[in-house]
């Protein structure tokens, strides 16, 4: 008598990677769910991540709805998410996932509050791997060398490194005089930087500037 055929899953995206370390291992791999509507991007990320001994890809999603469903099914350590996706955009996907688990660790490829990491698609490979490890460890990842690019993509104008330094000190509640002393610049120069920051972020107060910059991932509180 012929044996029964084994049932094969019709959804390869939801399948667990065969390379994943078994539960209970002393050094379990960082499980990553990849969500991007471009198959070439997904394939590249899968290839890159699976080469790392401390990481494994547990699933792929081609739209925001699938990303949420697969996240709920697998509860990955990290969700690597593109914000621009069909059916459910990345912003709404983040809201749903964070509503289900506010501690969910998400890295997005553009800027949005609620995620724990921010990267651009032209980020160097090792910077991406480092960001995954840092977010998995509980940190927030906004690479310093990307801050100006992030600001430019949001406001159309680039914040200089010095302006970002001033913003960070503003967030600490320091006065212009204290900021000048810390950065070894005159109080007048600080005022000029503050004025420029207000204009670039389209705000009218220090509190609003700090809130705006924090929401965009330019600084961390």
- Would you state the pLDDT for residue 135? 84
Q: How far is CA 40 from the centre of its chain?
A: 20
pLDDT digits (tens, 9 = 90+) for 83-111: 778 888 887 888 899 888 888 898 876 54
- Distance between the two ends of the chain, CA-based, in angstroms? 68
Spatial strand order of the sheet with 78-81 comes to: 55-61, 30-35, 78-81, 106-108, 117-118
Distances, alpha carbon 9 to alpha carbons 25, 94, 111, 125, 134, in Å = 26, 27, 35, 32, 33
Does 25-141 match 146-215 in CATH topology? no
Domain boundaries, given as residue ranges, for the chain: 25-141, 146-215
Low-confidence ranges of the chain (pLDDT < 50): 1-25, 111-114, 150-156
- Would you state the pLDDT for residue 194? 95
- Enter the pTM of the model: 0.50
- Would you state the pLDDT for residue 113? 42
Measured at the alpha carbon of residue 209, what is the angle toward residues 178 and 113, in degrees to the nearest 5? Answer: 125
- Would you state the pLDDT for residue 27? 63
Fold of 146-215: Arc Repressor Mutant, subunit A (1.10.10)
Q: Among 3.40.50.2300, 3.20.20.70, 3.40.50.10470, 3.90.420.10, name the CATH number for the domain at 25-141.
A: 3.40.50.2300
Cα distance between residue 31 and residue 26, in whole Å: 15
- Would you state the pLDDT for residue 144? 52
């Amino acid at each position: 008598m012929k044996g029964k055929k084994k049932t094969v899953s019709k959804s390869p995206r939801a399948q667990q990677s065969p390379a994943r370390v078994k539960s209970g291992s002393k050094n379990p791999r960082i499980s990553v769910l990849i969500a991007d509507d471009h198959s070439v991007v997904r394939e590249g990320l899968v290839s890159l991540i699976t080469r790392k001994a401390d990481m494994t890809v547990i699933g792929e999603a081609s739209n925001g709805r699938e990303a949420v469903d697969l996240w709920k099914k697998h509860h990955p350590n990290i969700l690597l998410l593109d914000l621009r996706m069909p059916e459910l955009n990345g912003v709404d996907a983040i809201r749903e996932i964070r509503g289900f688990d506010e501690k969910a660790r998400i890295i997005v490829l553009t800027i949005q509050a609620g995620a724990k990491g921010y990267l651009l698609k032209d980020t160097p490979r090792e910077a991406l791997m480092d960001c995954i490890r840092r977010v998995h460890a509980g940190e927030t990842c906004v690479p310093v060398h990307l801050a100006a690019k992030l600001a430019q993509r949001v406001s159309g104008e680039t914040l200089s490194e010095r302006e970002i330094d001033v913003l960070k000190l503003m967030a600490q509640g320091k006065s212009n005089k204290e900021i000048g002393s810390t950065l070894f610049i005159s109080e007048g120069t600080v005022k000029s930087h503050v004025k420029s920051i207000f204009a670039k972020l389209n705000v009218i107060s220090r509190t609003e500037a700090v809130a705006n910059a924090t929401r965009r991932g330019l600084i961390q509180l």
